[in-house]
């Protein structure tokens, strides 16, 4: 399946100047149509019809048609966009982020979401790491989501509604995508997923401080961010960059989590601070953000993650689960205070 094949399939629709772009990669197809923002609802039926036709083509595993606003004429001054809320039934969206990879961000995101669900909240979890999705393995999910009325239905595991690009492609598929395709996929997982009414949507952000992070901060109207780091200085340097990024886009930092904080030998109980200890707490105090807690380096956290049974769900009375529960309690309390001040819909203007 090539780009020319897709364009040939689109010919009967007579899209003319509406067709802004076609991207094809490994059986995944994205078509971008430029329409006026106020006319977008009138093209929804056409968008679904095109998606259905493209999805039925041999060799196409998933097809997405994205409507984007037409660019203003060069002579006109750019007007401030009036964004349609992507998640009208979601009370709060929080990001779990890190300045670098390898600090256990996804592990924290998954267990934080499960712990929030265990506390009685309706929780969703979005895997925004298009290049390295890990939620399918960590949640024990390996099936594709169903589609109803043009929207994907999130999968459910451990009391959490979940969505990941990993549900749509094979585990070993390399997502060799450029920025526009990644942004389109993220918009699709936000706007074209039937999340329903949620108290909290947790977004497992990709590592770093690039375009994807900025897009999500602006489009998802984040209520706050949790920054994950290990105690060592090299990880804390990158964590500072993550905090600074959220400050620049006016997203409050709910706090810092110190992951892999220490290791206790299960045989002799000797404690080893493999990556140092207390660095994240000291950094949180230095920059004036809350310290949410420390998560020890434990074999069961790794083992349950690989098995698709998060430790907060499979061993709720364990030391690890209690650590995540404590972090979740602080996050919930912080969101509750913000909710009392701003009303049921938390947003950052």
The per-residue pLDDT of the chain, averaged, comes to 82
Dump pLDDT digits (tens) for 276-320. Answer: 778 788 888 888 889 898 898 888 999 999 999 999 999 999 999
Residue 327: pLDDT above 60?
A: yes
Angle at 216 between CA 210 and CA 222, to 5 degrees: 125
If DSSP codes are grouped into helix, strand and coil, which group holds residue 58?
coil
pLDDT at residue 72 greater than cutoff 70:
no
Give the pLDDT confidence score for residue 338 in this predicted structure. 58
pLDDT at 177 over 70: no
The pLDDT score that the predictor gives to residue 175 is: 63
Contact 199, 233 (CB under 8 A): no
In the structure, what pLDDT confidence band is assigned to residue 70 with cuts at 50, 70 and 90?
A: low
Instruction: Provide the percentage of residues in the chain whose pLDDT is more than 70.
Output: 87
**What is the 8-class DSSP label of residue 167?**
G
In the predicted structure, residue 346 carries a pLDDT above the cut 50: no
- Beta-ladder partners of 90: 198
Q: How far apart are CA 284 and CA 290, in angstroms?
A: 6
Residue 82 — pLDDT band, cuts 50, 70, 90? low
Give the tens place of pLDDT for each residue, 196-251.
999 999 999 887 666 677 777 777 788 899 999 888 777 777 777 778 888 888 88
Q: Which residues of 34-44 are buried (b: 16+ CB within 10 A; e: fewer)?
A: ebeeeeeeebe
- Report pLDDT for 130: 77
Whose CA is closest to 257, among 99, 118, 139, 138?
A: 99
What stretch of H or E contains 201? strand 198-204
User: pLDDT band at residue 344, thresholds of 50, 70 and 90?
Assistant: very low
What tokens does 320 get? 């690890």
Lowest mean pLDDT among 112-116, 188-192, 193-197: 188-192
Whole-angstrom distance, CA of residue 326 vs CA of residue 225:
17
The larger pLDDT score, comparing residue 302 to residue 39, is at 302
Lowest-pLDDT choice from 5-9, 127-131, 338-342: 338-342
């Amino acid at each position: 399946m090539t780009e020319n094949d897709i364009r040939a399939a689109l010919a009967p629709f007579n899209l003319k100047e509406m067709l802004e772009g076609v991207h094809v990669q490994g059986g995944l197809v994205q078509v971008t149509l430029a329409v006026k923002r106020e006319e977008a609802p009138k093209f929804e039926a056409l968008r679904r019809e095109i998606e259905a036709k493209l999805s039925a083509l041999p060799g196409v595993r998933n097809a997405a048609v994205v409507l984007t606003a037409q660019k203003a004429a060069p002579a006109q001054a750019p007007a401030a966009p009036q964004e349609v809320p992507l998640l009208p039934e979601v009370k709060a969206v929080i990001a779990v982020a890190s300045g670098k990879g390898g600090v256990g961000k996804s592990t924290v995101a998954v267990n934080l979401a499960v712990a929030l669900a265990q506390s009685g909240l309706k929780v969703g979890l979005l895997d925004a790491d298009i290049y390295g999705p890990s939620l399918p393995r960590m949640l024990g999910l390996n099936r594709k989501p169903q589609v109803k009325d043009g929207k994907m239905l999130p999968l459910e595991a451990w009391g959490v509604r979940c969505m990941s690009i990993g549900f749509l492609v094979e585990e070993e598929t390399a997502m060799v995508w450029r920025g526009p395709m990644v942004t389109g996929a993220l918009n699709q997982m936000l706007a074209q997923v039937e999340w329903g009414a949620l108290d909290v949507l947790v977004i497992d952000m990709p590592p770093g401080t690039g375009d994807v992070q900025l897009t999500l901060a602006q489009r998802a109207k984040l209520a706050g961010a949790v920054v994950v780091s290990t105690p060592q200085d090299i990880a804390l340097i990158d964590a500072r960059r993550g905090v600074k990024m959220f400050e620049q886009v006016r997203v409050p930092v709910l706090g810092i989590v110190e992951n892999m904080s220490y290791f206790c030998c299960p045989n002799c109980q000797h404690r080893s601070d493999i990556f140092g200890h207390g660095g994240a707490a000291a950094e949180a105090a230095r920059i004036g953000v809350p310290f949410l807690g420390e998560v020890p380096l434990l074999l069961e956290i790794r083992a349950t993650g690989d098995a698709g049974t998060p430790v907060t769900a499979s061993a709720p009375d364990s030391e690890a689960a209690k650590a995540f529960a404590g972090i979740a309690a602080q996050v919930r309390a912080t969101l509750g205070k913000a909710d009392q001040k701003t009303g049921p819909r938390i947003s950052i203007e």
